[in-house]
Amino acid sequence: MTSVRTIVYDGLWKNNQALVALLGLCPLMAVTATAINGLGLGIATMSALILTNAVVALIRNHLKTEVRIPMFVLIIASVVTVIELLMNAYLHELYRVLGIFVPLIVTNCTVIGRAEAFASKRSVHHSMLDGLFMGLGFTIVLLLLGAFREALGYGTIFRQAELMFGDAARHMVITLADDFDGFLLAILPPGAFMGLAVLIAVKKIIDKRILQGQRIIKVQNVQRVTGSNAPDIL
């Protein structure tokens, strides 16, 4: 049975939609030139995931299997339209920066993927949790990639924070290097590919370290069977 712990672990790490499933890479690469853009789109995607997962899970017993995909798309499109209108109203500047990528959340494979693979089979609250943590995992990757590219490309982190948090957030900008020309490659498309590759590589290294640690523990537990300790082990 799905436990809350597995949902959290799957969403944030084991089945991270950006680093492992490699879904939704188009917006991921296109908007992450700055950390704030990444965060904005990440949160929008996360809200879409939570809401669509909830709705799909609610109606899962009434869905005809043959038409479930069009139904998912309809639900996702309605939810994303709501989010888009809300962003247009309350985060207008950020909405203008993100441009086409907010409505394009409709086509983000993560959203339809979770609806099909998870929400159409599980209870409402588990589905919402799954949406939350899948979305959170995706948002963290967007934020990390955005911060990485922004630091190399502009020498700052959280520039234009006012787009998201209002004028009070202007002091959030962390300037790493004054008078920095900028490594343009990082904020151009190749930087997105390389940055994502670096993140995936780092995740693999960490996974490998964890695996090695587990192996050592397992090896330590192996004992040789001899005449004297055989009754204890066998």
Say whether 83 sits in a helix, a strand or coil: helix
Q: Does 183 bind other proteins (CB under 8 A)?
A: yes
198 lines the binding site for other proteins (CB under 8 A): no
Does residue number 205 form part of the binding site for other proteins (CB under 8 A)? no
- Residue 99 to residue 139: CA distance in whole angstroms: 18
| 179 lies in the site for other proteins, by CB under 8 A | no
Among the candidate windows 1-9, 91-99, 184-192, 218-226, which touches other proteins by CB under 8 A?
184-192
Q: Does 178 bind other proteins (CB under 8 A)?
A: no
Q: Is the dihedral of CA 163, 164, 168, 174 positive or negative?
A: negative
Among 185, 206, 210, 233, binds other proteins (CB under 8 A): 185
Q: E-strand spans in 59-143?
A: none
CA-based torsion, 201, 204, 206, 208: positive or negative: negative
CB under 8 A: which stretch of 15-23, 128-136, 182-190, 202-210 binds other proteins? Answer: 182-190
> Which of 167, 178, 179, 181 contacts other proteins by CB under 8 A?
181
Secondary structure (3-state) at 71 = helix
* Cα–Cα distance, 49 to 79 (Å, whole number): 9
The residues that touch other proteins, with contacts defined as CB under 8 A, are 181, 183-186, 188, 194
